[in-house]
Amino acid sequence: MMLVEMLLFISPALLFPAELLYSFTVVTFLGYRRISRRNALDHDSRKRLYECIGQNPGISLGALIHASGVARGAAQYHLCRLKSMGMIVAVRQGGQVGYFKTGEGSGAVGRSVHLHLQNDTTRQILSLLLAVHRPSQQDLAVAVGISAPSIFWHMRRLIADEIVEPYREGKTMRYHLTPEALGLLREEAGHDGADDRTPRDGEEGVTV
């Protein structure tokens, strides 16, 4: 406060940045110390962010801001606090960062699946792979409505993250989910795996 008063005396124009500096100091060195895991969710904005992450594992910052209604600066501050208390983790995959509650979406494949589900096109591809027996690149391109090279780009990422495995049938490359990804996606979709399981060799599959 002495700094604010001195700057106000010297030049009123310097008051605004000085007030910001003072507020930041108070929040950082006084407010932060009062936050603990026990009372972290007493703050409305922090609670909304935490709940949104729980409902949407792997959610991006932009989607989190939109879903929670919390302003970007405030969201970044509260996410930092939640991370420092070990309540959430931020996972980077390629150029994408997704947020998870600690312990949820555990395992590299599990978190990769949730991160890929945040992308509309990849989510459509994964839904088709869950329902269709070993579709080809062209099958997926027609069903999703994008070019074959675009499908190839998505499939390359899914294969690298151990979510999809390629399967060659003559000159045609087909794809199917890895066992771990299949189980995770069935769980995510609420499937019980009894009536709509992925067909195996020799069984009829769903056609695109």
8 A C-beta contact, residue 9 and residue 35 = no
Query: What is the sign of the dihedral through the CA atoms of 127, 121, 178 and 140?
Result: positive
Angle between helices 148-160 and 120-131 (to 10 degrees): 80
CATH for 109-189? 1.10.10.10
CATH for 2-101? 1.10.10.10
pTM: 0.67
Q: What is the pLDDT of residues 79-105, one digit of tens each?
A: 999 999 999 999 988 778 999 999 875
8 A C-beta contact, residue 72 and residue 65 = yes
Give, for all 208 residues of the chain, the pLDDT tens digit.
Answer: 555 455 545 554 544 454 445 444 544 444 444 678 888 899 999 999 999 999 999 999 999 999 999 999 999 999 999 999 999 999 988 778 999 999 875 688 889 999 999 999 999 999 999 999 899 999 999 999 999 999 999 999 999 999 999 988 888 999 999 999 999 899 887 744 434 444 434 333 333 3
